[in-house]
A and B are shown apart, each in its own frame.
Chain A
Amino acid sequence: MSDILSVRNLTTRFNTFNGVVHAVNGVSFDLKEGETLAVVGESGSGKSVTMLSLLHLLPKTTTTVSGTAEFKDGEQTHELLSMSEAEINRVRGRHIGIVFQDALSALNPVMTVGEQITESLTTHLGLTHKQAYSHALELLDNVGIAQPEKRFSSYPHQFSGGMRQRAMIAIAIACGPKIMIADEPTTALDVTIQTQIVELTRRLQREMGMTVIWITHDLGVVAGIADRVMVMYAGMPIELAQVDELYENPQHPYTEGLLGAIPKVGDSGAERLLSIPGAPPDLFKEPRHCQFAWRCDYAFDHCWKEIPPDFSVGERHYSKCFYDMDKEKPREQ
């Protein structure tokens, strides 16, 4: 599998009245074509901001983005972060699509769902209205929406939650993008519908050969959909591994904490769920050392001196942690 997206050192800062918010601090990863990468983290971890930065979707006047993001579209490579507005507009919606969390607020309330699909088709693929219309009907059908003709002329508020999310997916994949970024698409839905959406995404991915980035804070969903997982904390990826490897052999105290906090069906109920003590880090300060140190059971003096680099801790498994939890001592450098 080749790399379809290579991000190096992505850093995003917001200039607010109260100071500078260091939302994303040096994110680097490679996305392999056809895989599903889950990006996991709590609120404020920078997982959404990272993806929004790639597509220039943050407020221009108050945001500073640096780093590189190379997107390989077949033969050509495009550096996303340095693109002009016209250039990024040719990528957005066409080669990279985003599905947002709250479909009700993410869809234009005064336009029909059908029109919100066709406008991508006419803008990017140059289809005529008739062509776009029939294509849209196919899409609606493909994402599992019954009575596509009726639904085409309906407005977002007339849909149920799950159907609306399907519609959002239809809009995002309308032009057959290479990458679909899903930003917490199932967080607002109940569990049964969550499963349906996950299934739908997997099927579409297979059919269309898409690469998927799935952002979530829910480790339960991750298990069902991801090939690889990137765990983020304080604007940095602190662990990156294949999904099974991550669950069986977490190599970062934060990941360990997250996994311990998931209620499992087999639990006796007598065991306490682990919660991670302490508070999330202050994003107003530029990180100069490990940002998890305050809450970490294993922190020692070196953790406070510098930001941990990526340690290779297994097969395609990296962790930004100075401490080796298995051997119970600091890692060899």
Chain B
Amino acid sequence: MAENEKNMNTGLVIDEEANKGIGAALSSLWQLLWRDKSGLLGLVMFLIVVFAAIAAPLISPYDPLDQEISQSKEPPAWKEKGDVSHLLGTDTLGRDIASRIIYGSRVSVTVGFLGVSMAFSLGMMIGLISGYKGGRTDNIIMTVVNMVLSLPYLVFVVFVAAVLGNSLLNVILIFGLTDIPVFVRVTRGEVLKLREEGFIEAAKSVGIKTPRIIFRHIMPNLLGPLITLATFEMSAMIFYEAGLGFLGLSVPPSVPSWGNMLAMGRQYLTVYPWMSVYPGLAIVFTGFGMNLLGDWLRDVLDPRMRRMKK
């Protein structure tokens, strides 16, 4: 990171750049990925998780709901009583852990994608209004946003989840809605930056109408920071979903989710530790990959940084 240089470019995305073509853009993206291998690693890890979610029925050795009581509580294959047929062992109801982990990615990825999409779109809209209009509207919106953000998040999420009950839809709604303030804040911040660069005023003075200003001039400059934010927030949502599952407040207990698995694993920690260790590792894997990806995105999508890098 070039900390010692002052920024020399305003880094604004101009319409003309869009005409350079997808092909050129993709290949330069690949070059950036290759140079910054941690970003590549993050992307690969992320894609592995998404792939597991999509292809779960194909790659999973067993049906995750399949109970084989005779084979319950088996440790992983490399331990004494383990067997290769259940690579990571089984849980107390005889369900294969590896399969449940693979299927568990479905819940995580779904919650992550849909939740973030909701927060992203609604948050961006509100943030745009707040930043563009300014004045009282902005003050009111930001006061509400700051108030909401200062509250103990999990406490209220737990409360709401308990009230609404166990369902995938509820979880998506809860995270999708409660994460809106974060997107509002970042969007508004970026809009204000553009304001300060005199950019919006210049466009207005040339007679460009508001909707066009917003869509063609402001939004392209928002996408970079927002996509980066979305990556981190998705990772956070996956963690929170697992946390809720751990408390028994996420998807119904029978549905395989990493959090649910940890909830069960906790009860048998002293005797069957593998039931807790491996689902947790899946979460760590996902989080690690997405954080690396997010860090790389942050460096690459910030136009200023892009020009500074080799």
Measured between beta carbons, the chain B residues less than 8 angstroms from A18 are: 307-308, 310
Q: Interface residues of B toward A: which range?
A: under 10
A/B interface sample: 13 pairs, CB < 8 A: A16-B2, A16-B5, A16-B308, A17-B2, A17-B308, A17-B309, A17-B310, A18-B307, A18-B308, A18-B310, A59-B4, A61-B4, A62-B4
Measured between beta carbons, the chain B residues less than 8 angstroms from A17 are: 2, 308-310
A residues contacting B by CB (< 8 A) are 16-18, 59, 61-62
B residues contacting A by CB (< 8 A) are 2, 4-5, 307-310
Cα–Cα distance between A18 and B5 once the two chains are bound (Å): 11
Which residue of B is nearest A60, CB measured? B4
Which residue of A is nearest B4, CB measured? A59
Say how far B261's CB is from chain A's closest CB, in angstroms: 46
Measured between beta carbons, the chain A residues less than 8 angstroms from B309 are: 17
Say how far B17's CB is from chain A's closest CB, in angstroms: 19
Measured between beta carbons, the chain B residues less than 8 angstroms from A16 are: 2, 5, 308
Say how far A61's CB is from chain B's closest CB, in angstroms: 8
Closest 5 CB pairs of A and B: A59-B4, A17-B310, A17-B308, A17-B2, A17-B309
Measured between beta carbons, the chain B residues less than 8 angstroms from A59 are: 4
Cα–Cα distance between A213 and B4 once the two chains are bound (Å): 26
Measured between beta carbons, the chain B residues less than 8 angstroms from A62 are: 4
Say how far B82's CB is from chain A's closest CB, in angstroms: 52
Cα–Cα distance between A61 and B5 once the two chains are bound (Å): 12
Measured between beta carbons, the chain A residues less than 8 angstroms from B307 are: 18
Say how far A46's CB is from chain B's closest CB, in angstroms: 16
Cα–Cα distance between A104 and B29 once the two chains are bound (Å): 41
Which residue of A is nearest B2, CB measured? A17
Say how far B263's CB is from chain A's closest CB, in angstroms: 48
Cα–Cα distance between A16 and B308 once the two chains are bound (Å): 8
Say how far A18's CB is from chain B's closest CB, in angstroms: 7
Measured between beta carbons, the chain A residues less than 8 angstroms from B2 are: 16-17
Cα–Cα distance between A16 and B3 once the two chains are bound (Å): 11
Which residue of B is nearest A63, CB measured? B4
Cα–Cα distance between A179 and B42 once the two chains are bound (Å): 55
Say how far B36's CB is from chain A's closest CB, in angstroms: 13
Which residue of A is nearest B310, CB measured? A17
Measured between beta carbons, the chain A residues less than 8 angstroms from B5 are: 16
Measured between beta carbons, the chain A residues less than 8 angstroms from B308 are: 16-18
Say how far B28's CB is from chain A's closest CB, in angstroms: 16
Which residue of A is nearest B1, CB measured? A17
Cα–Cα distance between A17 and B307 once the two chains are bound (Å): 9
Which residue of B is nearest A16, CB measured? B5
Say how far B110's CB is from chain A's closest CB, in angstroms: 40
Say how far A213's CB is from chain B's closest CB, in angstroms: 23
Measured between beta carbons, the chain A residues less than 8 angstroms from B4 are: 59, 61-62
Cα–Cα distance between A59 and B4 once the two chains are bound (Å): 7
Which residue of B is nearest A62, CB measured? B4
Measured between beta carbons, the chain A residues less than 8 angstroms from B310 are: 17-18
Cα–Cα distance between A17 and B4 once the two chains are bound (Å): 11
Cα–Cα distance between A59 and B2 once the two chains are bound (Å): 12
Cα–Cα distance between A59 and B309 once the two chains are bound (Å): 18
Which residue of A is nearest B305, CB measured? A17
Cα–Cα distance between A62 and B307 once the two chains are bound (Å): 18
Cα–Cα distance between A15 and B307 once the two chains are bound (Å): 15
Say how far A333's CB is from chain B's closest CB, in angstroms: 39
Which residue of A is nearest B3, CB measured? A59
Cα–Cα distance between A61 and B3 once the two chains are bound (Å): 12
Which residue of B is nearest A18, CB measured? B308
Known A-B contacts: A16-B2, A16-B308, A18-B307. Give 4 more (CB < 8 A).
A17-B310, A18-B308, A59-B4, A62-B4
